[in-house]
Amino acid sequence: MKVIKRSGSEVKFDNAKILHAIEGANNSVEEKDRLTEEQINNVVNNVVEKSKKLKRSVNVEEIQDMVEDELMANRFFQVAREYITYRYRHAMVRQSNTTDNQILSLIELDNEEVKQENSNKNPTIVSTQRDYMAGEVSKDISKRFLLPKEVVDAHNQGIIHFHDMDYFAQHIHNCDLVNLEDMLQNGTVISGTLIEKPHTFFTACNIATQIIAQVASSQYGGQTITLAHLAPFVDASRKKIRTEVLGELGNYRRNINFNDVEFNEMVDNIVKQRLLSEIKHGVQTIQYQINTLQTTNGQTPFVSVNMYLNEAKNEQEKADLALIIEEVLKQRIQGIKNPAGQWITPAFPKLLYVLEEDNVKEDGKYFYLTKLSAECTAKRMVPDYISEKKMLEYKIDKNGNGNCYPCMGCRSFLTPYVDENGKPKYYGRFNQGVVTINLIDVALSSKKSETQFFKIFDERLELCHRALQIRHERLTGTISDVAPILWQYGALARLKKGETLDKLLHGGYSTISLGYAGLWETVYYMTGKKLTDPEGEAFGLKVMKTLNEYTARWKASENIDYSLYGTPIESTTYRFAQCLQKRFGIIEGVTDKNYITNSYHVHVTEPIDAFHKLELESKFQKLSPGGAISYVEVPNMKGNIPAVLSVIKYIYENIMYAELNTKSDFCQVCGYDGEIQIVSDEDGKLMWECPNCHNHDQTKMNVARRTCGYIGTQYWNQGRTQEIKERVLHL
Task: Please list the active-site residues.
Answer: 174-175, 408, 410, 412, 431, 565, 570, 709
**Element housing 19 (H / E):** helix 15-26
Residue 91, number of CB atoms within 10 A of its CB: 11
One-letter amino acid of 129: Q
d(Cα 10, Cα 621) in Å, to the nearest integer?
39
DSSP code of residue 195: E
Type of residue numbered 438: N
Distance (Å, whole) CA 350 – CA 344 = 15
Find all residues with CB under 8 Å of 556, minimum gap 6, and list them: none
Cα–Cα dist 563/551, whole Å? 6
Q: Quote the CA–CA distance of 302 and 283 in Å, as a whole number.
A: 17
Q: What gap in Å lies between CA 217 and CA 214, rounded to an integer?
A: 5
CB 694 within 8 A of CB 11: no
Write a three-state SS string for 370-418: HHHHHHHHHHHCCCEEEEHHHHHHHCECCCCCECCCCCECCCECCCCCE
Q: What is the DSSP letter of 310?
A: G
Return contacts of 367-372, CB within 8 angstroms, 24+ apart: 368/326, 369/322, 369/325, 369/326, 369/329, 370/645, 370/648, 371/641, 371/645, 372/326, 372/329, 372/330, 372/333
**DSSP-assigned letter for residue 602:** P
Do 453 and 443 meet the contact criterion of CB atoms below 8 Å apart?
Answer: yes
Q: What is the DSSP letter of 313?
A: S
Concatenated DSSP letters for 325-368? HHHHHHHHHH-EE-TTS-EE----SEEEEEE-HHHHSTTSTTHH
Beta bridge partners of 686: 680
Q: How far, in Å, CA of 587 to CA of 601, rounded?
A: 20
What is the gyration radius of the CA atoms in the chain, in angstroms? Answer: 28
